[in-house]
Amino acid sequence: MTRDFDCFIAVDWSGAKGEFLKGLSVAICEPGTGAPRIIPPPRKYWSRVDVMDTLNDVAKSSRVLCGFDFSFSAPFLDKDSFFPNVQAKDAPNLWQEVEAICRDDAHLSCASFTGHPDLKDLFLTPQGRGSSFEARLRLCEALCRDKGLGRAESLFHLVGPSQVGLASLTGMRALLRLENYAIWPFNRPANGSVANGSVAVEIFTRLFLTRAGAGAMKITRLGDLNTALETIGSKPVKRMAELDDHKADAIVSAAGLRQLANSKAAWKPREMSENVRKTEGWTFGVF
């Protein structure tokens, strides 16, 4: 099955507090081998809302494969439930539940969710370990670890630079604001094809860095960035001001998306059952 995309966009997402976030970076590349480039924000830094508005604008005229560096869902299989007192039985309904709880939180924040009286004890936070905290993992996260593609972290772990919970919960709110995108693998077209429109997928930037031979690195030098790009079939970035690890992660991930766009194994991982597809979803590139 051929999937023809006009461009590949990777978003190094952020769950940080505030509106304009230094750690949010967006990169784009086109088919072929050209080097990805950073999309500059409309202001000094990106906001989460600005990212979604930009992606919606691009999809009006282009078929986009867009990867977001956050978990599109939460663990479900181990308890037949995402969270206690949350009734959702599939990922899109989970997004609606998160949105309902956080609807008054500005800038797509998730503070009302992680601080909810019925939910706050599930999380490990800088304030302490919740009484019901468990480092639960989705199937794809456990497999990512097992396959040596990166140490995927539990959504319930909200401490330290490797935590993904805040990014994921803010990201679930963001997914509801995407227009003209199929969100893989949850609401894919009935025939399974994604050739005729834009698609959003969950990515793990560390996975793409690992595939590029830089799995243990935090890339901040142009030479290291170009070595990684060469490994995954991309031409080098000729010059770049103010390279940081967030921009590097987005650039490598955009090239990685392009490399895997026509991989049957990436789109149809054998471990992804129908139940997993509907509930926990999958990280694109874990196969």
What domain range includes position 210? 1-287
Phi/psi of residue 130, each to 5°? Answer: -65, 150
Contact (CB, 8 A) for 45 and 21: yes
Q: What pLDDT was estimated at residue 192? A: 42
Tell me how far CA of residue 243 lies from CA of 93, 131, 240, 247, 251, in angstroms.
38, 41, 6, 6, 10
E strand or H helix at 169:
helix 165-175
Q: What pLDDT was estimated at residue 86? A: 87
Compute the Cα dihedral for 141, 245, 48, 51 and give only its sign: negative
Q: What pLDDT was estimated at residue 266? A: 95
Q: What is the pLDDT along the chain (287 residues), one digit of tens a residue?
A: 346 899 999 999 999 999 999 999 999 999 999 999 999 999 999 999 999 999 999 999 999 999 999 999 999 999 999 998 888 999 999 999 999 999 999 999 999 999 999 999 999 999 999 999 999 999 999 999 999 999 999 999 999 888 999 999 999 999 999 999 999 999 754 334 455 589 999 999 999 999 999 988 899 999 999 999 999 999 999 999 899 999 999 999 999 999 999 999 999 999 999 999 999 999 999 99
Q: What pLDDT was estimated at residue 171? A: 98
What predicted TM-score, i.e. pTM, was given to this entire model? 0.95
Task: Select from 135, 145, 128, 140 the least CA-distant residue to 165.
Answer: 135
Domains held by the chain: number: 1
Q: What pLDDT was estimated at residue 160? A: 86
Q: What pLDDT was estimated at residue 190? A: 39
DSSP 220-251: -SHHHHHHHHHHTT-PPP---SS--HHHHHHH
Query: From CA 52, how far away is CA 49, in angstroms rounded?
Result: 5
